């Protein structure tokens, strides 16, 4: 009986750990074409990252706010930056 209870506790612990490591925000981001990104967003991105290359866009969300995430290369580093639908800068980080 003790062995069954111990195994059950281990299984439940594994399920809890796996569910806590869920990066669902990144999983829900979907790739979009540059033509579907609002002009304000593309303009703000170009002004802030004029030397960026290999730009790819995703439809994303920051909390409950609709955003557009750009993944790009800047000075040899892979980066990502988010802008809201009006082109306001939300955040940037290095993309690993």
pTM for the full predicted model = 0.68
* CATH architecture under which domain 31-96 falls: Roll (3.10)
Beta bridge partners of 30: 59
At which residue do the structure tokens 């920051």 appear?
A: 62
Domain ranges of the chain: 31-96
C-alpha 85, offset from chain centre: 16
- The per-residue pLDDT for range 28-66, each reduced to its tens digit, is 678 999 999 999 999 999 999 999 999 999 999 888 889
């Amino acid at each position: 009986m003790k062995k069954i209870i111990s195994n059950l506790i281990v299984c439940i612990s594994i399920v809890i750990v796996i569910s806590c490591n869920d990066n669902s925000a990144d999983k829900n981001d979907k790739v979009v074409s540059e033509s579907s990104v609002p002009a304000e967003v593309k303009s703000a991105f170009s002004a802030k990252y004029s030397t960026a290359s290999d730009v790819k866009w995703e439809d994303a969300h920051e909390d409950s706010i609709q955003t557009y995430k750009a993944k790009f290369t800047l000075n040899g580093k892979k980066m990502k930056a988010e802008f809201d639908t009006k082109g306001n800068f939300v955040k940037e980080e290095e993309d690993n």
